[in-house]
Amino acid sequence: MDTDQKRPRWRLTLDYRINPRLLVGVEYNPAVKEFNPLRLTYDLTQETARTPLISLGTSSDRIGSPKGTQMYYLTVAKTLPKTRLAPYVSLAYSEWEDGFNFPFGLYWHLHPRWNLLAMNDGRKSHLLLTHRWRNGWVTVGWFWLKTFGVSVGWGF
């Protein structure tokens, strides 16, 4: 990410989906020599035509947060009928701020290989454009609506 802040400049993550509802992972931020062994998302419900996705989880706190801070969240998301739009809203507890915030956003499935995510992390807004292929993806992000970053990932 193009920023003067060290922690979000480079981030390496490794996630493993244990089953369709449980994702665990680790994160390493080399610029500040930070290793976070706890990254967890559990889907309490999976999205169906009638029910929303409801997830409970934890990860490192927001972009730009201090080293070692976690966020704990409950997220509800639902694709709007007959559209390619899926809004979400979260209740999140931030260790950084020692309080709650309310992230929200809108996922737009533009094409089978392209999506756009407009989001607010509870304080600042971001836009993420992702291109996917068989086992990988590239995301270009406009973070805080002022600085750009690129994320590359793949699955195996």
Cα gap 67→51, rounded to integer Å: 37
Q: What is the pLDDT of residue 3?
A: 62
- Burial (CB count within 10 angstroms: exposed 0-12, middle 13-18, buried 19+), residue 49: exposed
Q: What is the pLDDT of residue 28?
A: 87
Q: What is the pLDDT of residue 53?
A: 98
Task: Name, in order, each residue with C-beta under 8 angstroms of 50's C-beta and a sequence gap of 6 or more.
Answer: none
Q: What is the pLDDT of residue 137?
A: 96
Cα gap 29→59, rounded to integer Å: 13
Q: What is the pLDDT of residue 29?
A: 80
Q: What is the pLDDT of residue 41?
A: 96
Cα gap 132→121, rounded to integer Å: 23
Task: Name, in order, each residue with C-beta under 8 angstroms of 103's C-beta and a sequence gap of 6 or more.
Answer: 73, 75, 89, 90, 92, 119, 120, 121, 122
Successive 10-residue mean pLDDT values, the chain, 156 residues: 64 91 91 81 96 94 73 97 97 94 97 97 94 95 92 89
Please, what are the domains in the chain? Answer: 12-154 (2.40.160.40)
Q: What is the pLDDT of residue 37?
A: 72
